[in-house]
Amino acid sequence: MSATLTAGSGGIPERTDLLVVGLGITGAGVALDAAARGLDVVAVDAFDVAWGTSRFSSKLVHGGLRYLAKGQLAVAHESAVERGRLMEVIAPHLVRALPMVIPLTAEVSGPQAWLARRGVGAGDLLRLLARTRRETLPRPRRISATETRTLAPVVRHDVRGAILSWDGQLEDDARLVLAVARTAASLGARVHTRTRVVELDGHGALLRDELTGEERRIDARAVVNATGVWADQLVDGISLKPSRGTHLVVRKEALPGVRCAVMAPVPGTTNRYVFALPQPDATFYVGLTDEPVTGRVPDVAEPPEEDIEFLLSVLAGALEHPLTRDDVVGAYAGLRPLLSSAGATADLSRRHAVLVSGTGVVTIVGGKLTTYRRMAQDAVDKALAVSGTTAAPCRTARLPLLGAAPREELDRVAAPARLVRRFGTEAPTVVSNALDLGVSLEEALAPVSTTIPVTLAELVFGVTHEGAADVDDLLDRRTRVGLVPSDRPAAEPLAVRALEIARTSG
Ligand SMILES: Cc1cc2nc3c(=O)[nH]c(=O)nc-3n(C[C@H](O)[C@H](O)[C@H](O)COP(=O)(O)OP(=O)(O)OC[C@H]3O[C@@H](n4cnc5c(N)ncnc54)[C@H](O)[C@@H]3O)c2cc1C
């Protein structure tokens, strides 16, 4: 079956077993879960795959330490189990182990350091209980001042050592969503971007094609609303309280020689940190704020100046030479879809909620990228129960995404390393796809510039296989060039060319 995504609502049937609204990580996960159980699935997004919160995360696959600190053992265990599955079976090409250091500077007291050490020790116990291999996530340990400065030469010179621990890091959050959505499509799900749900009930929806303006009705035996921070706009009785998380983007030269995440404690707290996370494409992300947001939810949230100042000032506590505002080449904000209250049908035993509306729409909201698979399983189980539909049991726990393979196999894939990181075993197809469309090998693999490693091959694949319909889809979600606005003009001509190549071929 084709693993291609479609822009616009052309080809959507009049009836389906399950309609999924929203193609963030949650909706993509639901589409995959349902298609893997043998259901007929239609999944739509008003804009694009990974349009919403799912592309503005910290791109970490967490072990659930925060939940442990709050005594929520089951939730913490679930998170650690899902992390292990992602790293070892579901998406080893997209998730890797990230070393993280908490530098023990003069600002970190003895008791704070003791608490941090206890915390990472408990995190390692979670890894063990989740049966994640030691080779996947190495043991946390106290390291010397010399080793700290080797891993992160920019930390304050009076550092007395650091606590080193490991967690999962995504190549890119939007690429995980794309991989899940395409895997769903490979199992028969019809995945359509630019298709807005205008009205919704438990038996179907009114859809609007955002390319043509045409409206049509689709009937469905079951309906799942996975629209994140917009979930309350389609279904009554849901009350959300979004919270904004801002990240900054700085170039790798701003933090020279750093080979790990650097965590700076937020003054006056015991377990809140501002972190600088090294990214695969020569940048760092500095995050993270947590600020309540009121009023209308925007299509894309803007990071305010006070968030930027807060992040720079806290990180400065860990650095010998603080970053300045001029080092910030980009900034982005995401909105957490937090539930403020839940109706009687809510299942709040986890950090995500499955809610059923009066007409039978199942809404899945909350949670995080790391636990998307479990959220999807719970949502599909509920949708089957509500609609009286039978299907095979969930089988995503051991289902590799397209491109996934064990690390040893990935190491042998004959394609440039960057493409293997992003496409796994599909990397050679990404290259041959461009060659088949008349692009020379040299042109297919030439980076946009020395600081922008994006290639024509992956942009063409974005159009032919990943449903990209315009330059923004290519630069903001298939690749993340758009996170640095000054890089955008250099990459735009290549994106335009990719769209032309795909159009003239098809
Ligand atoms: C700043 C920040 C950092 C985070 N970091 C991490 C992290 O490091 N690790 C982690 O595990 N989790 C993290 N999270 C949590 C995680 O990112 C979110 O829980 C998750 O992305 C939410 O995904 P979603 O699919 O539910 O929502 P979204 O990604 O917002 O998707 C909803 C989709 O619904 C679509 N939609 C809306 N209305 C309609 C309509 N009427 N018709 C059709 N489509 C519609 C939207 O276009 C959108 O694409 C972070 C969250 C934030 C805010």
SS (H, E, C) 239-286: EECCEEEEEEEEEHHHCCCCCCEEEEECCCCCCCEEEEEECCCCEEEE
Residue 197 Cβ contacting ligand 1 at under 6 Å: yes
Query: How far is 25 from 200, CA to CA, in rounded Å?
Result: 20
What DSSP string runs through 98-125? EEEEEE--TTS-HHHHHHHHHHHHHHHH
Alpha carbon 436 to its chain centroid, in Å, reads 31
Name the one residue in this structure whose structure tokens are 């900034």: 331
Provide the H-helix boundaries in 211-332. 305-316
Put simply, whether the predicted model's pTM sits higher than 0.95 gets the answer: yes
Angle at Cα 337 formed by Cα 331 and Cα 338, nearest 5°? 120
Ligand 1 centre distance from Cα of residue 336 (Å): 7
Q: What is the mean pLDDT of the chain?
A: 94
Alpha carbon 48 to its chain centroid, in Å, reads 14
Query: How far is 506 from 494, CA to CA, in rounded Å?
Result: 18
Residue 373 Cβ contacting ligand 1 at under 6 Å: no
Name the one residue in this structure whose structure tokens are 């929806």: 205
DSSP, collapsed to helix, strand or coil, labels residue 261 as strand
Tens of pLDDT, residues 166-206 = 999 999 999 999 999 999 999 999 999 999 999 999 999 99
Residue 240 Cβ contacting ligand 1 at under 6 Å: no
Ligand 1 centre distance from Cα of residue 140 (Å): 30
Query: How far is 7 from 44, CA to CA, in rounded Å?
Result: 10
Residue 458 token pair: 């992956």
Contact 428, 414 (CB under 8 A): yes
Tens of pLDDT, residues 208-238 = 999 999 999 999 999 999 999 999 999 998 9
Residue 469 token pair: 């319909």
For residue 448, give the DSSP letter: S
Tens of pLDDT, residues 397-432 = 999 999 999 999 999 999 999 999 999 999 999 999
pLDDT (0 to 100) of residue 506: 66
Name the one residue in this structure whose structure tokens are 């891993």: 151
Amino acid at 282: A
Nearest CA to ligand 1 atom 1: 245
Query: How far is 335 from 368, CA to CA, in rounded Å?
Result: 12
Ligand 1 centre distance from Cα of residue 281 (Å): 23
Nearest CA to ligand 1 atom 19: 368
When pLDDT is averaged across residues 250-262 and rounded to a whole number, the result is 97
Residue 478 Cβ contacting ligand 1 at under 6 Å: no
Is 345 a residue whose pLDDT tops 50? no
